[in-house]
Structure 1
């Protein structure tokens, strides 16, 4: 049977013009996505994923630990693997993203052929998915794509398996759909909505009668599959509520809900259906759709007019829109409860929160227009259409929308590529470390807030992010003479300790504070608190000797060198004196230069 399917597929590719046109469209989309994705780089949450897996270990508990409400162990492990292959080389994750996109494209094409056959009517739904701007953010941002692209893959392939189950009743097809679901849930908890999509599709097209009658119809014929889906769904949902749920669903009922609905339905989804948004509101590296009033109205008008025309000339067409309605409604409630209640309604414009809508709407469009092979009920022609019965008009409309959507996507991709702050930062940093003749003594500081949020501490520390480059770095809390740190542009620069506190002039003339084996406590001219302080001790030593230095709750044992040198050390959380002791017999250290401050790179020091 497998050989028969392979021969049939090969014959379609060689001889069927519709399949050839579909493959050409897929190739065009993948070429465009390759340009957009390979031109991108790591951003924000990408670094948090890398830092977590490199520093906290590979235990399942680490990978499955919730991140901003997301449970994505497979995505975490895939992040670790891509970083293992080539640290900070975005070509590796870009290739993975593109491969996921190709798998999703193949899944949609297989699904359309399985549902409707090789007919020209499958090309408009395919084009809607391939070129819609909704999918662009997740195509080029690793942290978003590594969970949402698998959801799209699962939506297409699980539904294709489920259709085979509904037609033939063989449980193995339901098992295959469940395997796809389990794989998707390992990447993204929102994949659970796919089960709802499968249920809606079954109720709409493979049952008849009232809603209770349809439920009974499905239960009598497909109870084995229903039980499988229910066990997976309920088991996963129960586990997610315990492990990952970090918000109350009741928060969805708040004053921001009308604004969220307007944002997600009109300004985001509907505008994208018309090829929009054509204008974005840019902030740092990201962007949210900001269509002007004409584009927003055109999107709503196009959706309404096309749906109305389909309704006029096709029976049973309205039920198809339950699919995007279900996914969009679920996204609205999840965003309102889990994001908007914390950061405001503007975030609901972000396409990441409805990234699957292009995939779902494409399937719905096909179901609204085309008869489904083997379905109990489906759309059928009932009147002539000035649009649907004229392939040239459909092709013109699809072409215009696809071109506009590609322009919108290109706008987003160009900004994403050009506005990346992390790429030059790490390029400078890794280049400077590579050129250094020996491991560089570095102050361990956080990367700039524009690269990774401080809330991610300690994963945002340079030592965590540069774990793969341990042979080139020497993150330290104590150093002699040479101490460096990374400036805001990623360059390794000498560290300067501006004077916030200093020791008063010592009592021994030119020696200042004379320190011998018994040790000495050197007072400062005021206290320091809240941590982040470094002590600089300029000294003259008569010989090399062990030494112990204490500044608050920070204590170090090191060595003083003969002659004039400077000792740098990280102080404690709060202190108002420095204790120096532990010198060898007959060794004298003189210092009149004890200062405390928060270090800055030399390029950023303004005395």
Structure 2
């Protein structure tokens, strides 16, 4: 292993990362056990967070598509999900939907396993960069407890993007350091595989190789190796070259299957978004904040830190920057690199989500900066690795410094746990949870009558999610439910509580009383074809939209009739013999209804009835 130098080292010298051999075995074991205990304790806290959560927004889009689109189809795997390219995430969502449809326990397990894997990768990264030293535990506590990763963990759809990215950032950076030190190409193979998998979960994983390169190059730099960046390129060429090929192929696929969401015409909003993301989002987490969260259901919680915490966070950050530069050599580029990563994340947020219709609070949800926690861990590890400016020998153990560090870490942990508790208080107030629970029971109890498709509660998914806010999409994964059809003899709908209730049709337009006495409009299928009034005029025109027609009819026999508006598709409607009614969901418009029997010998009398939208009543289905 190359020795650390203060300058003028051989250009091919490897980063002098400490290894377990650099510390007494007993100390290394103690640090490993302490790190494991910290990770397990933090994971237990995240288990509580996951157990208090449930499906939210995009989660239902993923599960609904899993139930309605063939799994191994391009339409499923290459779907452009709001600008995201995430086939591996779709596969995991499909697995959860297949094994436990709309049951939260399996996604919760995925969250915990993903977080545990990411935490283990961070421990490995710290061990490689810093070596087995007690100070390693401080940045580890930051990562496993820092609230900046909390919102992205709790939201399953977001975690399917964020956790693989966090794992990849830590794993690939550590392997790149090992490759630079040993030249063993198995680390290059491992890194390429992990990068490919991460790219299949989240397009932001394109940054993984760049973070790995920066970690190696900055490690050389703080070690005093000459031409650090060039040396990092040379020593890890076995990684950078195949990774560049992977990124090129991935970019071609990504640009082919996704539509760009990048918009630069609202860059005037950038200062506001950056302020909310940085001052009200990221900076308070340096002290374990934000402590407080707000929420407007169905939006996710966002950080609302007290002003004192914001100021305190900036003071701590300024002190850390100034103190590290004053006491450590060559660490300024480390800070610049970390700031560049955060800035790139915020720029991506502004360009893809910062429209004039987006509220600044979006930036305070923290999920756009969650992966920055790993980069900040790398920052801390490299600063700890950097040599001190003072040439005076340092006491191996400074009781005052150890005590101060311990107090700071404990205070951060307590503050972070407080922020986690208050977050859960907001997050578990999710109207989707009781809605899904009630609907699951109500639908299972009333499977005998088909349901007309209709939007789910606005508190669950708003119309902007169309067509994925339909009941047929959300509840499609459930095996124990009524069928969704274009017609039904009884009009029912799920109310805002998820309970099945009776529903009525508004009289936007009306089918008038027809010209045939005691019949209305008569139409029948004779051996010579359809006879009678197949065109039923309405009392006014309808715009092209989704409408429901209430057909009050008398049928001579059971059979089928085709129903449509002037524009739109035809719906085949089963009718029963005798006096009955049926409710038909029609897409289209015009000023007439067209009814044609398709069953030979079927004669139909259609009476007056409304054509309009469906409104639930307060009467629950018995």
> TM > 0.5 between the two?
yes
Q: 1-side partners of 2:599 and 2:231: how far apart? A: 91
Give matches, 1:312-331, under 5 Å. 312-331=326-345
Q: 1-side partners of 2:153 and 2:606: how far apart? A: 59
Structure 2 partner of 1:195: 209
| Structure 2 residues not aligned, in runs of 5+ | 1-19, 526-530
What is the TM-score when the length of structure 1 is the normalising length?
A: 0.88
Tell me, yes or no, if the aligned pair for 2:444 and 2:482 is still in contact at 8 Å: no
Tell me, yes or no, if the aligned pair for 2:215 and 2:378 is still in contact at 8 Å: no
User: Which of residues 454, 458, 467 is equivalent to 1:458?
Assistant: 467
Structure 1 partner of 2:452: 443
User: Which of residues 185, 203, 217 is equivalent to 2:199?
Assistant: 185
User: Which of residues 117, 128, 144 is equivalent to 1:130?
Assistant: 144
Structure 1 partner of 2:591: 576
Q: 2-side partners of 1:36 and 1:65: how far apart? A: 30
Q: 2-side partners of 1:151 and 1:470: how far apart? A: 34
Give matches, 1:15-30, under 5 Å. 16-30=29-43
Give how far 1:118 is off.
2.1
Tell me, yes or no, if the aligned pair for 1:154 and 1:180 is still in contact at 8 Å: yes
Structure 1 partner of 2:615: 600
- State the SS of the aligned residue for 1:493: strand
Deviations 1:212-243 (A, max 9, x none): 93333334433333323332334434443444
Structure 1 partner of 2:443: 433
| Structure 1 residues not aligned, in runs of 5+ | 1-6, 372-377
Q: 1-side partners of 2:183 and 2:501: how far apart? A: 68
Say if 2:404 is the partner of 1:393. Answer: yes
Deviations 1:155-197 (A, max 9, x none): 1111121111111122222222222211111111111212121
Q: 1-side partners of 2:601 and 2:326: how far apart? A: 102
Structure 2 partner of 1:475: 484
Say if 2:392 is the partner of 1:364. Answer: no
Structure 2 partner of 1:3: none
Structure 2 partner of 1:171: 185
Tell me, yes or no, if the aligned pair for 1:519 and 1:583 is still in contact at 8 Å: no
User: Which of residues 81, 84, 98 is equivalent to 1:67?
Assistant: 81
Q: How has the CA–CA distance of structure 1 residues 512 and 339 changed in structure 2, closer, same or farther, with 3 Å as cutoff?
A: closer
Give matches, 1:350-429, under 5 Å. 350-370=365-385, 390-418=401-429, 420-429=430-439
Q: How has the CA–CA distance of structure 1 residues 179 and 484 changed in structure 2, closer, same or farther, with 3 Å as cutoff?
A: same
Give matches, 1:96-111, under 5 Å. 96-111=110-125
User: Which of residues 20, 24, 32 is equivalent to 2:45?
Assistant: 32
Q: 2-side partners of 1:575 and 1:208: how far apart? A: 74
Q: How has the CA–CA distance of structure 1 residues 570 and 243 changed in structure 2, closer, same or farther, with 3 Å as cutoff?
A: closer
Q: 2-side partners of 1:204 and 1:388: how far apart? A: 30
Q: 2-side partners of 1:265 and 1:543: how far apart? A: 70
Q: How has the CA–CA distance of structure 1 residues 104 and 12 changed in structure 2, closer, same or farther, with 3 Å as cutoff?
A: farther
Q: Which moved more, 1:158-167 or 1:50-59?
A: 50-59
Structure 2 partner of 1:263: 276
Structure 1 partner of 2:296: 283
Count of paired positions? 587
User: Which of residues 197, 211, 222 is equivalent to 2:236?
Assistant: 222
Tell me, yes or no, if the aligned pair for 2:218 and 2:382 is still in contact at 8 Å: no
Deviations 1:64-119 (A, max 9, x none): 22222211111111110111110011110110110011111111112222222222
Say if 2:509 is the partner of 1:498. Answer: no
Q: How has the CA–CA distance of structure 1 residues 235 and 12 changed in structure 2, closer, same or farther, with 3 Å as cutoff?
A: farther
Q: Which moved more, 1:83-92 or 1:378-387?
A: 378-387
Q: 2-side partners of 1:13 and 1:58: how far apart? A: 51
Q: 2-side partners of 1:576 and 1:128: how far apart? A: 65
Tell me, yes or no, if the aligned pair for 1:200 and 1:322 is still in contact at 8 Å: no
Q: 1-side partners of 2:219 and 2:342: how far apart? A: 21
Say if 2:57 is the partner of 1:50. Answer: no
Root-mean-square deviation over aligned CA pairs = 3.1
Q: How has the CA–CA distance of structure 1 residues 560 and 109 changed in structure 2, closer, same or farther, with 3 Å as cutoff?
A: closer
Q: Which moved more, 1:95-104 or 1:330-339?
A: 330-339
Say if 2:493 is the partner of 1:485. Answer: yes
Give how far 1:304 is off.
1.3
Deviations 1:339-391 (A, max 9, x none): 114544442222111011222112211221235xxxxxx56765679999611
Q: How has the CA–CA distance of structure 1 residues 559 and 462 changed in structure 2, closer, same or farther, with 3 Å as cutoff?
A: closer
Q: 2-side partners of 1:458 and 1:22: how far apart? A: 47
Give how far 1:539 is off.
3.1
Q: How has the CA–CA distance of structure 1 residues 195 and 90 changed in structure 2, closer, same or farther, with 3 Å as cutoff?
A: same
Give how far 1:470 is off.
5.3
Q: Which moved more, 1:122-131 or 1:482-491?
A: 482-491
Q: Which moved more, 1:70-79 or 1:17-26?
A: 17-26
Structure 2 partner of 1:552: 566
Tell me, yes or no, if the aligned pair for 1:101 and 1:149 is still in contact at 8 Å: yes
Tell me, yes or no, if the aligned pair for 1:316 and 1:380 is still in contact at 8 Å: no
Q: Which moved more, 1:506-515 or 1:308-317?
A: 506-515
- State the SS of the aligned residue for 1:529: strand
Q: Which moved more, 1:49-58 or 1:84-93?
A: 49-58
Q: 2-side partners of 1:545 and 1:219: how far apart? A: 75
Give how far 1:571 is off.
3.5
User: Which of residues 297, 300, 303 is equivalent to 2:317?
Assistant: 303
Q: 2-side partners of 1:446 and 1:12: how far apart? A: 62
- State the SS of the aligned residue for 2:80: coil
Q: 2-side partners of 1:448 and 1:212: how far apart? A: 62
